């Protein structure tokens, strides 16, 4: 039970990360690697302000700094015409130094004993659930507004959006800012939940976000933007449960976490293709069986 509750807590908090990845990966159709830096950026900012006795201000700072990181990536893509993946790598690399600078030159900062939003609540699971629910609903409503529809249109058909006199460069920057602000907020919440931040926490975080999005889509399906956002949260919870049980049964050592994560993503990505291949193979066998059956009947009639 403790394992499941812990997985649920982390799944809900990392679900906010999955929302940010969903915006860039599914809506904009961009693999944004900035998230590996912005996640730690949120952790660093939140940790330092939480240690000073301002946990709410820490989370607000995480949102603002994450949006700034996403905007920077957007400007590199749209104004300097740098490849989207390279733009994310450039910002991610630069943020490594920024994050250490925010943390006072230290690679790890504990905040044990400091007041956090989880310390002030009697049930951390309820707190995590309410935060994830409110954010998901707010993002869902946003993507049904005129600006939200313009962002969705940019991801679907940028040329059509430009022809409609909409600044697609601006919508990209806004979407990347929104996505990375959510990622940074997730990092801040994780820092308060675990009561420490580490500069290496962002390594492979994009894989966790992708795994959550893809698992949610594979198991829950694709039924529009609102359902997609909630399925990303569900996928994050399922992912954390899978990881927890994989480590619990001692089949893998603790240092194999990233290998397990990569395997889960690979399985989730290849799942739909393998399913279609098996269905096609089954249909072909059925078709061949019917042809043979008809041939046998024709011969017997002769």
- Angle (CA) 219-220-225 rounded to 5° is 135
Task: Give the pLDDT of residue 21.
Answer: 95
Angle (deg, nearest 10), helices 84-102 and 35-51: 20
> Rg of the Cα trace of the chain?
22
Task: Give the pLDDT of residue 28.
Answer: 92
CB atoms within 10 A of CB 8: 18
Q: How far apart are the C-alpha atoms of 62 and 57, rounded to whole Å?
A: 9
Q: Look at residue 164 and tell me whether its pLDDT is greater than 90.
A: no
Q: How far apart are the C-alpha atoms of 191 and 263, rounded to whole Å?
A: 26
Task: Give the pLDDT of residue 31.
Answer: 86
Phi, psi of 29 (to 5 degrees): 60, 40
Task: Give the pLDDT of residue 300.
Answer: 67
Q: Look at residue 115 and tell me whether its pLDDT is greater than 80.
A: yes
Mean local confidence (pLDDT), 25-54: 94
Task: Give the pLDDT of residue 195.
Answer: 92
Instruction: Indicate the SS3 state at residue 113.
Output: coil
Cβ contacts of residue 302 below 8 Å, gap of 6+? none
| Helices H / strands E in the chain, number of each | 11, 2
Q: Look at residue 155 and tell me whether its pLDDT is greater than 80.
A: yes
Q: How far apart are the C-alpha atoms of 45 and 256, rounded to whole Å?
A: 29
CB 51 within 8 A of CB 109: yes
Distance of CA 43 to the CA centre of its chain: 16
Task: Give the pLDDT of residue 301.
Answer: 64
CB 210 within 8 A of CB 21: yes
Mean local confidence (pLDDT), 102-120: 90
Q: How far apart are the C-alpha atoms of 85 and 28, rounded to whole Å?
A: 13
Task: Give the pLDDT of residue 248.
Answer: 78
Q: Look at residue 136 and tell me whether its pLDDT is greater than 90.
A: yes
Mean local confidence (pLDDT), 175-202: 95
Of the candidates 136, 170, 134, the one whose C-alpha atom is nearest the C-alpha of residue 153 is 170
* Mean pLDDT computed over every residue of the chain: 89
The better pLDDT of the pair 242, 20 is held by 20
Confidence of residue 50 (pLDDT cuts 50, 70, 90): very high
Confidence of residue 262 (pLDDT cuts 50, 70, 90): confident
Q: Which helix (H) or strand (E) holds 198?
A: strand 196-198
Mean local confidence (pLDDT), 86-104: 95
Distance of CA 159 to the CA centre of its chain: 27
Confidence of residue 120 (pLDDT cuts 50, 70, 90): low
Q: Look at residue 302 and tell me whether its pLDDT is greater than 70.
A: no
Task: Give the pLDDT of residue 148.
Answer: 94
Mean local confidence (pLDDT), 231-246: 89
Lowest mean pLDDT, pick from 52-56, 86-90, 100-104, 204-208: 204-208
Q: Look at residue 128 and tell me whether its pLDDT is greater than 90.
A: yes
Of the candidates 116, 126, 142, 119, the one whose C-alpha atom is nearest the C-alpha of residue 43 is 116
Phi, psi of 102 (to 5 degrees): -65, -35
Percent of the chain with pLDDT strictly greater than 90: 59
Instruction: Indicate the SS3 state at residue 200.
Output: coil
Mean local confidence (pLDDT), 56-83: 96
Mean local confidence (pLDDT), 234-259: 81
Q: Which helix (H) or strand (E) holds 40?
A: helix 35-51
CB atoms within 10 A of CB 135: 18
Q: Look at residue 266 and tell me whether its pLDDT is greater than 90.
A: no
Q: Look at residue 140 and tell me whether its pLDDT is greater than 90.
A: yes
Q: How far apart are the C-alpha atoms of 87 and 142, rounded to whole Å?
A: 26
Phi, psi of 281 (to 5 degrees): -65, -40
DSSP state for residue 251 in the 8-state scheme: S
Question: Alpha-carbon torsion 72, 74, 75, 81, what sign?
Answer: positive
């Amino acid at each position: 039970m403790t394992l499941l509750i812990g997985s649920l807590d982390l799944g809900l908090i990392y679900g906010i990360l999955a929302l940010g990845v969903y915006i860039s990966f599914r809506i904009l159709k961009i693999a944004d690697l900035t998230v590996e830096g912005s996640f730690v950026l949120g952790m660093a900012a939140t940790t330092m302000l939480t240690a000073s006795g301002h946990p709410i201000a820490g989370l607000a700072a995480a949102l603002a700094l994450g949006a700034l990181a996403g905007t920077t990536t957007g400007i590199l893509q749209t104004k300097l015409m740098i490849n989207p993946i390279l733009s994310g790598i450039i910002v991610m690399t630069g943020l490594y130094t920024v994050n250490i600078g925010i943390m006072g030159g230290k690679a790890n900062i504990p905040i044990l004993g400091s007041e956090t939003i989880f310390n002030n609540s009697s049930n951390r699971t309820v707190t995590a659930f309410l935060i994830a629910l409110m954010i998901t609903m707010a993002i869902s409503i946003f993507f049904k507004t005129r600006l939200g529809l313009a962002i969705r249109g940019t991801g679907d058909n940028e040329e059509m959006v430009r022809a409609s006199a909409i600044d697609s460069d601006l919508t990209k920057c806004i979407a990347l800012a929104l996505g990375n602000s959510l990622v940074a907020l997730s990092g801040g919440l994780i820092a308060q939940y675990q009561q420490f931040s580490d500069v290496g926490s962002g390594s492979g975080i994009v894989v966790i976000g992708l795994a959550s999005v893809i698992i949610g889509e594979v198991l829950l399906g694709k039924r529009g933007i609102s359902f997609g956002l909630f399925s990303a949260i569900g996928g994050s919870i399922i992912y954390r449960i899978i990881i927890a049980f994989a480590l619990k049964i001692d089949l893998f050592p603790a240092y194999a976490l990233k290998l397990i994560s990569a395997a889960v993503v690979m399985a989730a990505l290849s799942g739909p293709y393998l399913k279609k291949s098996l269905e096609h193979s089954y249909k072909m066998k059925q078709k061949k069986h019917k042809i043979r059956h008809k041939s046998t009947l024709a011969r017997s009639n002769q």
